[in-house]
Structure 1
Amino acid sequence: MNRRAMLLALGVLPGCSVLPERPYVETRHFPLEPRRPAGAPAAAGGRVLLLRAVRPGAGMDGRSLRSVRADGTLALAPYAEWAAPPAEAVESALRQWLQASGLFSAVTATGSRLPSDLVLEVELTALESRPDRAVAAFSALLVEDGGLVSSRLRGQFALRGEAPMRGEGDAAAAAAMTAALAAAFTALESDIAGALRSPAPRR
Protein backbone atom coordinates (compact mmCIF):
# COMPACT_ATOMS: atom_id res chain seq x y z
CA MET A 1 0.00 0.00 0.00
CA ASN A 2 1.47 3.34 -1.02
CA ARG A 3 1.52 6.45 1.20
CA ARG A 4 -1.50 8.10 -0.47
CA ALA A 5 -3.65 5.02 0.05
CA MET A 6 -2.63 4.81 3.70
CA LEU A 7 -3.67 8.44 4.30
CA LEU A 8 -7.03 7.83 2.65
CA ALA A 9 -7.56 4.75 4.81
CA LEU A 10 -6.76 6.69 7.97
CA GLY A 11 -9.20 9.42 6.97
CA VAL A 12 -12.18 7.06 7.00
CA LEU A 13 -11.45 5.58 10.42
CA PRO A 14 -13.81 6.82 13.16
CA GLY A 15 -12.33 9.72 15.12
CA CYS A 16 -9.31 9.96 12.85
CA SER A 17 -8.28 13.05 10.91
CA VAL A 18 -5.18 14.03 9.02
CA LEU A 19 -5.85 17.74 9.78
CA PRO A 20 -4.69 19.29 13.06
CA GLU A 21 -7.48 20.36 15.39
CA ARG A 22 -7.72 24.07 16.23
CA PRO A 23 -8.73 25.00 19.76
CA TYR A 24 -12.04 26.85 20.01
CA VAL A 25 -11.65 30.47 21.09
CA GLU A 26 -14.79 32.20 22.28
CA THR A 27 -15.31 35.77 21.09
CA ARG A 28 -15.51 38.27 23.93
CA HIS A 29 -18.07 41.07 23.80
CA PHE A 30 -17.55 44.40 25.54
CA PRO A 31 -20.21 47.03 26.27
CA LEU A 32 -19.55 50.59 25.14
CA GLU A 33 -21.08 52.47 28.06
CA PRO A 34 -19.12 55.59 29.05
CA ARG A 35 -19.76 56.86 32.56
CA ARG A 36 -20.66 60.49 33.05
CA PRO A 37 -18.51 62.22 35.70
CA ALA A 38 -20.25 62.69 39.02
CA GLY A 39 -21.55 66.17 39.64
CA ALA A 40 -24.71 68.21 39.68
CA PRO A 41 -26.18 68.64 36.20
CA ALA A 42 -26.96 72.05 34.78
CA ALA A 43 -30.37 73.55 35.43
CA ALA A 44 -32.90 71.71 33.31
CA GLY A 45 -33.62 73.54 30.08
CA GLY A 46 -36.97 73.62 28.35
CA ARG A 47 -35.62 72.67 24.93
CA VAL A 48 -36.20 69.30 23.31
CA LEU A 49 -33.23 67.83 21.43
CA LEU A 50 -33.61 65.33 18.62
CA LEU A 51 -30.51 63.14 18.36
CA ARG A 52 -30.49 61.56 14.94
CA ALA A 53 -28.95 58.15 14.26
CA VAL A 54 -25.17 58.34 14.62
CA ARG A 55 -23.47 57.68 11.29
CA PRO A 56 -20.39 55.43 11.18
CA GLY A 57 -17.42 57.01 9.43
CA ALA A 58 -15.11 55.17 7.07
CA GLY A 59 -14.19 51.78 8.54
CA MET A 60 -16.33 52.33 11.65
CA ASP A 61 -19.20 50.00 10.79
CA GLY A 62 -17.55 46.84 12.14
CA ARG A 63 -17.80 45.54 15.71
CA SER A 64 -14.24 44.24 16.12
CA LEU A 65 -12.01 46.21 18.49
CA ARG A 66 -9.64 48.40 16.47
CA SER A 67 -6.04 49.16 17.34
CA VAL A 68 -3.26 51.11 15.66
CA ARG A 69 0.19 49.57 15.94
CA ALA A 70 3.35 51.57 16.60
CA ASP A 71 4.13 51.55 12.86
CA GLY A 72 0.73 53.08 12.07
CA THR A 73 -0.94 49.98 10.65
CA LEU A 74 -4.47 49.05 11.68
CA ALA A 75 -5.33 45.77 13.41
CA LEU A 76 -8.72 44.24 14.18
CA ALA A 77 -9.03 41.97 17.21
CA PRO A 78 -10.01 38.49 15.97
CA TYR A 79 -11.83 37.44 19.14
CA ALA A 80 -12.94 40.72 20.73
CA GLU A 81 -15.97 42.76 19.68
CA TRP A 82 -18.24 45.49 20.95
CA ALA A 83 -21.56 44.14 22.17
CA ALA A 84 -23.31 46.35 19.59
CA PRO A 85 -22.15 48.17 16.46
CA PRO A 86 -20.14 51.18 17.68
CA ALA A 87 -22.33 53.83 16.03
CA GLU A 88 -25.47 52.35 17.62
CA ALA A 89 -23.80 52.12 21.02
CA VAL A 90 -22.53 55.71 20.76
CA GLU A 91 -26.02 56.95 19.91
CA SER A 92 -27.61 55.20 22.89
CA ALA A 93 -24.88 56.32 25.29
CA LEU A 94 -24.89 59.92 24.02
CA ARG A 95 -28.66 60.18 24.37
CA GLN A 96 -28.45 59.12 28.01
CA TRP A 97 -25.44 61.39 28.59
CA LEU A 98 -27.14 64.52 27.24
CA GLN A 99 -30.38 63.74 29.04
CA ALA A 100 -28.45 63.54 32.31
CA SER A 101 -26.69 66.84 31.56
CA GLY A 102 -29.81 68.85 32.36
CA LEU A 103 -29.39 70.96 29.23
CA PHE A 104 -32.61 69.62 27.73
CA SER A 105 -36.05 68.66 28.96
CA ALA A 106 -35.92 65.62 26.68
CA VAL A 107 -33.54 63.98 24.21
CA THR A 108 -35.50 62.06 21.60
CA ALA A 109 -34.74 59.69 18.73
CA THR A 110 -35.72 59.74 15.08
CA GLY A 111 -39.39 58.85 14.77
CA SER A 112 -40.44 60.49 18.01
CA ARG A 113 -43.72 62.43 17.85
CA LEU A 114 -42.48 64.97 20.37
CA PRO A 115 -41.69 68.27 18.59
CA SER A 116 -38.00 69.18 18.83
CA ASP A 117 -36.35 72.59 19.16
CA LEU A 118 -32.86 71.43 18.23
CA VAL A 119 -31.38 68.64 16.14
CA LEU A 120 -27.97 67.03 16.71
CA GLU A 121 -26.26 65.10 13.93
CA VAL A 122 -23.16 63.04 14.75
CA GLU A 123 -20.66 61.02 12.72
CA LEU A 124 -18.29 58.64 14.52
CA THR A 125 -14.84 58.95 12.94
CA ALA A 126 -12.48 57.11 15.31
CA LEU A 127 -12.61 54.61 18.16
CA GLU A 128 -9.30 52.82 18.56
CA SER A 129 -6.50 51.93 20.93
CA ARG A 130 -2.80 52.70 20.49
CA PRO A 131 0.24 51.44 22.38
CA ASP A 132 -0.04 54.16 25.04
CA ARG A 133 -3.57 55.54 24.76
CA ALA A 134 -7.03 55.19 23.28
CA VAL A 135 -8.73 57.71 21.01
CA ALA A 136 -12.38 58.49 20.28
CA ALA A 137 -13.44 61.16 17.79
CA PHE A 138 -16.59 62.34 16.08
CA SER A 139 -18.01 65.38 14.32
CA ALA A 140 -21.32 67.00 15.23
CA LEU A 141 -23.77 69.60 13.93
CA LEU A 142 -26.28 71.36 16.19
CA VAL A 143 -29.18 72.84 14.25
CA GLU A 144 -32.15 74.86 15.45
CA ASP A 145 -35.16 72.99 14.13
CA GLY A 146 -37.35 75.36 12.21
CA GLY A 147 -38.29 73.12 9.32
CA LEU A 148 -36.54 72.83 5.99
CA VAL A 149 -36.80 76.56 5.26
CA SER A 150 -35.88 78.22 8.53
CA SER A 151 -33.38 75.84 10.17
CA ARG A 152 -30.32 77.61 11.60
CA LEU A 153 -26.89 76.24 12.44
CA ARG A 154 -26.11 76.71 16.14
CA GLY A 155 -22.79 74.91 16.25
CA GLN A 156 -20.36 72.73 14.31
CA PHE A 157 -17.98 70.68 16.44
CA ALA A 158 -15.04 68.32 16.01
CA LEU A 159 -14.59 66.33 19.21
CA ARG A 160 -11.68 64.15 20.28
CA GLY A 161 -11.15 62.34 23.55
CA GLU A 162 -8.14 60.40 24.78
CA ALA A 163 -7.48 58.10 27.72
CA PRO A 164 -4.32 56.25 28.80
CA MET A 165 -3.96 52.53 28.33
CA ARG A 166 -3.90 50.82 31.72
CA GLY A 167 -2.65 47.33 31.10
CA GLU A 168 -2.59 45.05 28.09
CA GLY A 169 -5.11 42.91 26.31
CA ASP A 170 -8.57 43.37 24.86
CA ALA A 171 -10.28 44.22 28.16
CA ALA A 172 -7.80 47.03 28.86
CA ALA A 173 -8.21 48.35 25.32
CA ALA A 174 -12.01 48.34 25.55
CA ALA A 175 -11.89 50.14 28.90
CA ALA A 176 -9.53 52.80 27.55
CA MET A 177 -11.65 53.39 24.45
CA THR A 178 -14.75 53.74 26.61
CA ALA A 179 -12.95 56.31 28.77
CA ALA A 180 -11.81 58.18 25.66
CA LEU A 181 -15.41 58.31 24.45
CA ALA A 182 -16.46 59.73 27.82
CA ALA A 183 -13.87 62.48 27.39
CA ALA A 184 -15.24 63.29 23.93
CA PHE A 185 -18.80 63.37 25.31
CA THR A 186 -17.68 65.78 28.04
CA ALA A 187 -16.19 68.10 25.42
CA LEU A 188 -19.36 67.94 23.32
CA GLU A 189 -21.56 68.75 26.31
CA SER A 190 -19.41 71.80 27.07
CA ASP A 191 -19.51 72.96 23.44
CA ILE A 192 -23.29 72.57 23.24
CA ALA A 193 -23.76 74.49 26.49
CA GLY A 194 -21.63 77.31 25.09
CA ALA A 195 -23.58 77.36 21.83
CA LEU A 196 -26.88 77.57 23.68
CA ARG A 197 -25.64 80.51 25.76
CA SER A 198 -24.67 82.44 22.64
CA PRO A 199 -27.32 84.53 20.86
CA ALA A 200 -28.97 82.66 18.03
CA PRO A 201 -27.92 83.93 14.58
CA ARG A 202 -30.48 85.95 12.68
CA ARG A 203 -32.48 84.20 10.03
Structure 2
Amino acid sequence: MTARRLLLALPPLLLGACGGIFPDRPNVPVRRFPLAPRRPSADAPRPGAPVLLLRRIRAIPGLQELGLRRQRADGAFDILPYEEWIAPPADLAEAALRGWLGASGLFAAVVAPGSRAEASLVLEAQLTVLEAAPAAGEARAALAGVLLREERLSSRVLRPFEVAGSAPLAPAADAPAMALAMGAALGQAFGRLEATLAGLGGAAVAAR
Protein backbone atom coordinates (compact mmCIF):
# COMPACT_ATOMS: atom_id res chain seq x y z
CA MET A 1 0.00 0.00 0.00
CA THR A 2 1.43 3.38 -0.96
CA ALA A 3 1.85 6.15 1.60
CA ARG A 4 -0.96 8.15 -0.07
CA ARG A 5 -3.39 5.24 0.11
CA LEU A 6 -2.41 4.60 3.72
CA LEU A 7 -3.22 8.19 4.66
CA LEU A 8 -6.55 8.03 2.82
CA ALA A 9 -7.41 4.88 4.75
CA LEU A 10 -6.90 6.48 8.16
CA PRO A 11 -10.00 7.64 10.05
CA PRO A 12 -10.49 11.45 10.10
CA LEU A 13 -10.00 11.63 13.89
CA LEU A 14 -6.65 9.86 13.64
CA LEU A 15 -5.54 12.18 10.85
CA GLY A 16 -6.38 15.13 13.07
CA ALA A 17 -4.30 13.66 15.88
CA CYS A 18 -1.36 13.18 13.51
CA GLY A 19 -1.49 16.85 12.65
CA GLY A 20 -1.02 17.70 16.32
CA ILE A 21 2.27 15.84 16.52
CA PHE A 22 4.08 18.62 14.65
CA PRO A 23 2.67 21.92 15.95
CA ASP A 24 3.50 25.10 14.12
CA ARG A 25 6.89 26.43 15.16
CA PRO A 26 8.07 30.02 14.78
CA ASN A 27 10.51 30.49 11.93
CA VAL A 28 13.40 31.93 13.97
CA PRO A 29 16.45 32.82 11.86
CA VAL A 30 19.79 31.54 13.10
CA ARG A 31 22.42 34.21 13.67
CA ARG A 32 26.06 33.22 13.23
CA PHE A 33 29.08 35.03 14.64
CA PRO A 34 32.82 35.03 13.88
CA LEU A 35 35.45 34.25 16.49
CA ALA A 36 38.60 35.88 15.19
CA PRO A 37 40.59 37.95 17.69
CA ARG A 38 43.51 39.67 15.99
CA ARG A 39 46.77 40.89 17.40
CA PRO A 40 46.72 44.71 17.57
CA SER A 41 49.88 44.94 15.44
CA ALA A 42 52.06 42.70 13.30
CA ASP A 43 55.78 42.44 14.11
CA ALA A 44 58.43 41.20 11.70
CA PRO A 45 60.07 37.87 12.58
CA ARG A 46 63.33 38.10 14.48
CA PRO A 47 66.51 36.93 12.73
CA GLY A 48 66.84 33.19 13.12
CA ALA A 49 63.31 32.80 14.44
CA PRO A 50 62.08 29.18 14.45
CA VAL A 51 59.17 27.72 12.52
CA LEU A 52 56.24 26.73 14.74
CA LEU A 53 53.83 23.92 13.90
CA LEU A 54 50.40 24.55 15.43
CA ARG A 55 48.56 21.27 15.65
CA ARG A 56 44.78 21.10 15.50
CA ILE A 57 43.12 22.68 18.52
CA ARG A 58 40.52 20.46 20.14
CA ALA A 59 37.76 21.37 22.56
CA ILE A 60 36.68 19.79 25.82
CA PRO A 61 33.16 18.31 25.98
CA GLY A 62 30.61 21.09 26.15
CA LEU A 63 32.59 23.36 23.83
CA GLN A 64 32.01 21.33 20.68
CA GLU A 65 28.58 22.84 20.03
CA LEU A 66 28.05 25.63 17.52
CA GLY A 67 25.63 27.42 19.83
CA LEU A 68 26.96 30.15 22.10
CA ARG A 69 27.55 28.93 25.65
CA ARG A 70 26.03 31.03 28.43
CA GLN A 71 26.35 30.53 32.18
CA ARG A 72 23.21 31.20 34.19
CA ALA A 73 23.13 32.84 37.60
CA ASP A 74 22.77 29.42 39.24
CA GLY A 75 26.01 28.22 37.61
CA ALA A 76 24.37 25.93 35.05
CA PHE A 77 24.97 26.45 31.33
CA ASP A 78 22.72 27.02 28.33
CA ILE A 79 23.60 26.50 24.68
CA LEU A 80 21.71 29.19 22.80
CA PRO A 81 19.77 27.42 20.01
CA TYR A 82 19.54 30.22 17.44
CA GLU A 83 22.85 32.00 18.20
CA GLU A 84 25.82 30.15 16.75
CA TRP A 85 29.46 30.46 15.77
CA ILE A 86 30.11 30.27 12.03
CA ALA A 87 32.14 27.07 12.59
CA PRO A 88 33.12 24.87 15.55
CA PRO A 89 34.75 27.22 18.07
CA ALA A 90 37.94 25.17 18.36
CA ASP A 91 38.46 25.42 14.59
CA LEU A 92 37.92 29.18 14.72
CA ALA A 93 40.30 29.48 17.68
CA GLU A 94 42.96 27.53 15.79
CA ALA A 95 42.81 29.80 12.74
CA ALA A 96 42.85 32.90 14.94
CA LEU A 97 45.79 31.67 17.04
CA ARG A 98 47.80 30.83 13.93
CA GLY A 99 47.31 34.37 12.69
CA TRP A 100 48.04 35.87 16.12
CA LEU A 101 51.32 34.02 16.65
CA GLY A 102 52.29 34.58 13.03
CA ALA A 103 52.06 38.32 13.69
CA SER A 104 53.99 38.14 16.97
CA GLY A 105 57.48 38.22 15.43
CA LEU A 106 58.49 35.21 17.55
CA PHE A 107 58.43 32.79 14.64
CA ALA A 108 59.58 32.75 11.04
CA ALA A 109 56.27 31.08 10.20
CA VAL A 110 53.38 29.35 11.95
CA VAL A 111 52.31 26.38 9.86
CA ALA A 112 49.51 23.83 9.92
CA PRO A 113 49.77 20.03 9.94
CA GLY A 114 50.65 18.75 6.47
CA SER A 115 52.98 21.65 5.70
CA ARG A 116 56.29 20.72 4.09
CA ALA A 117 58.07 23.34 6.17
CA GLU A 118 60.47 21.92 8.75
CA ALA A 119 59.26 23.03 12.16
CA SER A 120 61.53 22.85 15.20
CA LEU A 121 58.74 23.75 17.64
CA VAL A 122 55.27 22.25 18.00
CA LEU A 123 52.34 23.73 19.90
CA GLU A 124 49.51 21.49 21.06
CA ALA A 125 46.51 23.23 22.60
CA GLN A 126 42.99 22.56 23.79
CA LEU A 127 40.14 25.03 24.16
CA THR A 128 39.01 24.59 27.76
CA VAL A 129 36.77 27.62 28.37
CA LEU A 130 34.66 29.79 26.06
CA GLU A 131 31.57 31.15 27.73
CA ALA A 132 29.53 34.23 28.46
CA ALA A 133 28.56 34.84 32.08
CA PRO A 134 26.28 37.90 32.05
CA ALA A 135 25.29 37.43 35.69
CA ALA A 136 28.97 37.63 36.63
CA GLY A 137 29.54 40.57 34.30
CA GLU A 138 32.15 38.90 32.11
CA ALA A 139 33.01 36.55 29.27
CA ARG A 140 35.77 33.97 29.69
CA ALA A 141 38.15 31.96 27.53
CA ALA A 142 41.03 29.63 28.29
CA LEU A 143 43.51 27.33 26.57
CA ALA A 144 45.76 24.59 27.90
CA GLY A 145 48.49 22.62 26.20
CA VAL A 146 52.18 22.09 25.74
CA LEU A 147 55.07 23.45 23.69
CA LEU A 148 57.33 20.75 22.25
CA ARG A 149 60.78 20.78 20.72
CA GLU A 150 60.94 18.46 17.71
CA GLU A 151 64.06 16.32 17.67
CA ARG A 152 65.13 13.65 15.22
CA LEU A 153 63.56 10.65 16.88
CA SER A 154 61.41 12.20 19.60
CA SER A 155 59.70 15.30 20.92
CA ARG A 156 60.85 17.03 24.09
CA VAL A 157 58.46 18.98 26.31
CA LEU A 158 59.64 22.54 26.77
CA ARG A 159 56.70 24.02 28.64
CA PRO A 160 53.14 23.07 29.57
CA PHE A 161 50.82 26.05 29.76
CA GLU A 162 47.38 27.18 30.87
CA VAL A 163 46.28 30.67 29.89
CA ALA A 164 42.97 32.44 30.45
CA GLY A 165 41.36 35.72 29.53
CA SER A 166 38.22 37.65 30.38
CA ALA A 167 36.28 40.63 29.07
CA PRO A 168 33.53 42.77 30.63
CA LEU A 169 29.95 41.89 29.75
CA ALA A 170 26.76 43.67 30.74
CA PRO A 171 24.17 41.61 32.67
CA ALA A 172 21.57 42.27 29.97
CA ALA A 173 23.93 41.63 27.04
CA ASP A 174 22.40 40.19 23.89
CA ALA A 175 23.96 37.46 21.75
CA PRO A 176 26.08 39.76 19.51
CA ALA A 177 27.55 41.41 22.61
CA MET A 178 28.25 38.01 24.16
CA ALA A 179 30.03 36.78 21.01
CA LEU A 180 32.10 39.98 20.86
CA ALA A 181 33.09 39.69 24.53
CA MET A 182 34.05 36.02 24.16
CA GLY A 183 36.26 36.98 21.23
CA ALA A 184 37.92 39.67 23.36
CA ALA A 185 38.47 37.19 26.19
CA LEU A 186 40.05 34.73 23.76
CA GLY A 187 42.32 37.49 22.45
CA GLN A 188 43.48 38.19 25.98
CA ALA A 189 44.28 34.50 26.44
CA PHE A 190 46.24 34.57 23.17
CA GLY A 191 48.24 37.54 24.43
CA ARG A 192 49.15 35.67 27.59
CA LEU A 193 50.16 32.62 25.60
CA GLU A 194 52.37 34.83 23.41
CA ALA A 195 53.99 36.27 26.54
CA THR A 196 54.63 32.73 27.82
CA LEU A 197 56.31 31.75 24.55
CA ALA A 198 58.33 34.96 24.45
CA GLY A 199 59.52 34.23 27.98
CA LEU A 200 61.08 31.02 26.71
CA GLY A 201 63.38 33.02 24.52
CA GLY A 202 61.69 32.56 21.12
CA ALA A 203 64.52 31.83 18.73
CA ALA A 204 66.84 30.86 21.57
CA VAL A 205 64.58 27.90 22.34
CA ALA A 206 65.21 26.42 18.92
CA ALA A 207 68.96 26.73 19.36
CA ARG A 208 69.09 24.55 22.47
TM-score norm. by structure 1 comes to 0.84
Tell me the equivalent position of 1:60: 63
**Count of residue pairs the alignment pairs up:** 192
Whole-Å Cα distance in 2 between the matches of residues 146 and 136 of structure 1?
32
Partner of 1:106 in structure 2?
109
2:153 matches 1:156? no
Distance in 2 of aligned mates of 1:147 and 1:91? 26
Question: How big is each residue's C-alpha offset from its partner over 1:9-44, in whole Å with a ceiling of 9 and x where there is no partner?
Answer: 9x5xxxxx7675322001100000112124x62653
Partner SS, residue 26 of structure 2:
coil
SS in 2 for 1:171: helix
Q: In structure 2, what is the Cα distance between the partners aligned to 1:37 and 1:98?
A: 12
CA distance in structure 2 between the partners assigned to 1:148 and 1:62 by the alignment: 37
TM-score w.r.t. the length of structure 2 is 0.83
**1:192 maps to what in 2?**
197
In 2, distance between residues paired with 1:148 and 1:196? 24
**Structure 2 residue 144 is matched with structure 1 residue 139:** yes
**Counterpart-to-counterpart distance in 1, 2:38 and 2:109:** 19
Structure 2 residue 179 is the aligned partner of structure 1 residue 177: no
Shift of 1:8: 7.1
**Contact 2:54 2:110 (C-alpha < 8 Å) held by counterparts:** yes
Residue aligned with 1:187, SS: helix
CA RMSD of aligned residues (A): 2.6
In structure 1, C-alpha distance between the alignment counterparts of 2:124 and 2:23, rounded to whole Å:
51
Give the AA of the match of 2:156.
R
* Equivalent residue letter for 1:134: A
Structure 1 counterpart of 2:75: 72
Point out where structure 2 has 5 or more consecutive residues left out of the alignment: 1-10
Q: Percent identity?
A: 47
